[in-house]
Amino acid sequence: MTLSEFSFASSRRAAFCVSIAIAMAIAGCAGKGPKATTTLEEVIAKETSAQQETRSINERLFASVSSAPQVKDYVLGEGDLLQVSVFEADELKAETRVGARGSISLPLLGLVEVKGLSTREAEQRIEDLYRQKYLHNPHVGVFVKEQVAGKVTVLGAVKKPGTYNYYSRQHLFDVLASAEGLSDSSGRTVQVRRAGDDPSHPTVFMVDLDDVIKGGHTELNVEIKSGDVIFVPLAGMIYVDGAVRKPGSYPIKDKMNIQEAIAAAGGFTTTAKESNIKLVRYTEAGNREVVQMGIQDVRKEVGQDIELKDRDVLFVETDTMEALLYGLRLNLGAGLFGIGYQPPTQ
């Protein structure tokens, strides 16, 4: 071998070594993710604890609600059709609808405002008015023949969303209990939307259930009005990063687990290290916990039971050797050589 041939061969070997070093360095920086701080078993234990906490909140919610509402507690509203009877004078019996201004029309009395009163309170008001001028000791009955106004709507992450009859002296927990409580995927903040004079600009109250139940702020268990809409949002958003095809933020769906989150992010890339998936979770104290697991753990029944929570981060690490095989490009020829590294395709 001549000196020039030896020099060229040495240069090629050096170039190859440099290319390997570059590729290894780049692949090594492809994202190992955060260092694990806890175990899968501990996360599962805490997950079970979180589910128990939701059940506990529901139990306390049901325990704190008012007694079952009675027919006499129904709150009258615009559009309700009423049948009013005066037992001492059958000729004063009337069937009348609550008007836009909240009044009904009755014999001898004319317009009587009843909107916002319970049927019991309306009976008392009408008795008082007849007693003042016409009858010695009247007894009045008010029957709601057609209920129009007395409705509240419960939407979102509750077990039984829908529209429910509204009764007087109902509070937020009473209505949530009517919807059979929170679902397992619910957040802890509840929105109460109330229409005002301008329906296009409703008033919105935000209630933190933890403040009510854990903090003891019972004043936040607000009174609900007829027509209110109560919305319980899902727990929040997660972020999927690393060796997935579509990294980014994703909304938490009902009981969303790790496999479903990875699928939402387009699945693994060709260089994903499926044996090294990290779940980053923030604790109530504001600390960060990291658990490492593999796809085999995720596919097990116990792994499928892990439900993702608001602000969870999933990080899929890159396989260094896979990245090296896909990404290394070495060009030699015509007495010239070049070194290049091309990141692997998704």
The pLDDT of 323-336, averaged and rounded, is 51
In this structure, the strands spanning 237-242 and 313-318 are parallel
Model confidence at 271: pLDDT above 70: yes
Residue ranges of alpha helices (H) inside 242-319 are 258-264, 295-299, 301-304
Mean pLDDT of 6-28: 51
Place of tokens 């509240």: 152
Q: What is the dihedral of CA 183, 186, 189, 195, to 10 degrees?
A: -70
pLDDT at 98 over 90: yes
Per residue in 100-127, pLDDT tens? 899 999 999 999 999 988 899 999 999 9
Half-sphere exposure of 129 (CA within 13 A, CB side): 18
Domains defined along the chain, listed by start: 31-54+236-327 (3.10.560.10), 65-69+150-232 (3.10.560.10), 76-146 (3.30.1950.10)
Segment 195-218 shows an average pLDDT of 78
Identify the pLDDT of residue 45: 61
Is residue 339 scored above 50 in pLDDT? no
Going by pLDDT thresholds of 50, 70 and 90, the confidence category of residue 48 is low
174 SS3 class: helix
pLDDT at 143 over 90: yes
What would the mean pLDDT of 77-89 be, rounded to a whole number? 92
What SS3 class is residue 249? strand
User: Mean pLDDT of all residues in the chain?
Assistant: 78
- pLDDT score of 210: 77
Q: Stretch 264-284: mean pLDDT, rounded? A: 87
Residue 8's alpha-carbon distances to 17, 93, 144, 176, in angstroms, are 14, 114, 101, 80
Where does the pLDDT of residue 293 fall: very low under 50, low under 70, confident under 90, or very high at 90 and above?
Answer: confident
